[in-house]
Amino acid sequence: MALDFTAIDFETANGFRGSPCSVGLSKVRGGVVVEEASWLMRPPENHDHFEFHNTRIHGIRAEDVAGQPRFGELFPEIGAFIGGDILAAHNAAFDLGVIRSGLEVSGLPGPAYEFVCTVMLSRRCYSLVSNSLPYAAEEAGVPLVNHHDAAEDARACAGILVDIARRNNANSIAELYLSLGLTVPKQPAFDPSAGLSKATLSALAARLGTSAGGTAGNGSVGQRDARSGAWSTWREEGPNPVPNAAAEPGHPLFGQTVVFTGDLAIPRPEAKSRAADMGARPESRVTARTTVLVVGDGFVAGDLRAGRLTGKAKRVLELHAKGQQIEVVSEGEFLQMVGGN
């Protein structure tokens, strides 16, 4: 088997994807993990504040990375470990975005990478009610005890890709993508002096106070609950924007029909707009067309087993049990996909 690649996973300090504080890497040769590496790091300057929500997820605090090199200083070592490998990540839009935004705000150019998204492959090759890493790893028979430890998450991602290749009788990434009728996507090389990505520009604008808090990206205004900080549900659905036909076909939301439920951390019209930007079709209720349900209220994948679900989520489970290809996604996973805070 010539199944060679490097799996990568980042954890970030805050909602900006260019704030990496930890990375894990697993190098695979012939379908077997042969080398691993992980680092703690300080995020780039001016983007190094740690938000409670992020620390609650991965447990890393500012004092844990004090004295560590910043991401820009460490990236030569990360890049040397990756070499010329194809990168694999569970929700590659996020992890490739971390590299790009992290280097951009560090004033550094970045190399081109071919990459594989195991969320997208999981959707195509498994039939799961959630394709979050714990569920996909369980399906692949990969141990995942400490989710959100970057090294363990990278190792699980590697195991998922190896399992999917085996199920498709593919001996390489090229064979796997050919068997699925897909082309391996590529993030081109970039130089921040030639222009910044949209995610980085948005983060810089927010830091400078030029973006209006409490206003949706499409001009719709929501209302926050003073106690919970969530956006209220009154009149919040808004119109369903048309999918962006020019979006990247390899993005995990491209071509999906997305419905939102529960209290979100952003106004629902803005969530719909972000989904449409990625090529998804937002709708307001669960139907036979629905393929993705994004759940707010602090939902995590484990809630599917615990039964802490909204009415829409219960409807999704009913449809999934009847054979409809439909997936439940947390708002955090959705925001990683669309590169938002």
Let me know: does 21 contact 65? Beta carbons within 8 Å: yes
Query: Nearest CA to 229 among 88, 25, 53?
Result: 53
Residues 20 and 5: their CA atoms lie apart, in Å, by 22
Which residues, at least 6 apart from 70, have a Cβ–Cβ distance to it below 8 Å? Answer: 41, 42, 43, 44, 45, 48, 106
Does residue 290 sit in helix, strand or coil?
A: coil
What is residue 336's predicted lDDT score, i.e. its pLDDT?
A: 84
What is residue 1's predicted lDDT score, i.e. its pLDDT?
A: 61
Q: What would the pLDDT profile of 246-293 be if each residue is shown by its tens digit?
A: 998 878 899 999 999 888 888 889 999 999 999 999 999 888 899 998
Q: Which amino acid is at 9?
A: D
Please, which residues bridge with residue 259 across strands? Answer: 283, 293
Q: What would the pLDDT profile of 66-109 be if each residue is shown by its tens digit?
A: 999 999 999 999 999 999 999 999 999 899 999 999 999 999 99
Helices (H) and strands (E) in the chain, counts: 13, 10
Q: Which amino acid is at 3?
A: L
Portion of the chain with pLDDT greater than 90, in percent: 61
Residue 26, CB-side half-sphere exposure with 13 Å CA sphere: 24
Cβ burial of 46 (10 Å; 0-12, 13-18, 19+) is exposed
Please, which residues bridge with residue 6 across strands? Answer: 27, 87
What is residue 107's predicted lDDT score, i.e. its pLDDT?
A: 97
| DSSP letter for each residue of 246-288 | TS-TTSTTTT-EEEEES--SS-HHHHHHHHHHTT-EEESS--T
Mean pLDDT of the residues in the chain: 87
Does residue 113 sit in helix, strand or coil?
A: strand
Let me know: does 173 contact 181? Beta carbons within 8 Å: no
* Weakly modelled stretches of the chain, pLDDT under 50: 211-235
What is residue 340's predicted lDDT score, i.e. its pLDDT?
A: 57
What is residue 236's predicted lDDT score, i.e. its pLDDT?
A: 63
What is residue 298's predicted lDDT score, i.e. its pLDDT?
A: 72
What is residue 223's predicted lDDT score, i.e. its pLDDT?
A: 41
Residues 301 and 9: their CA atoms lie apart, in Å, by 18
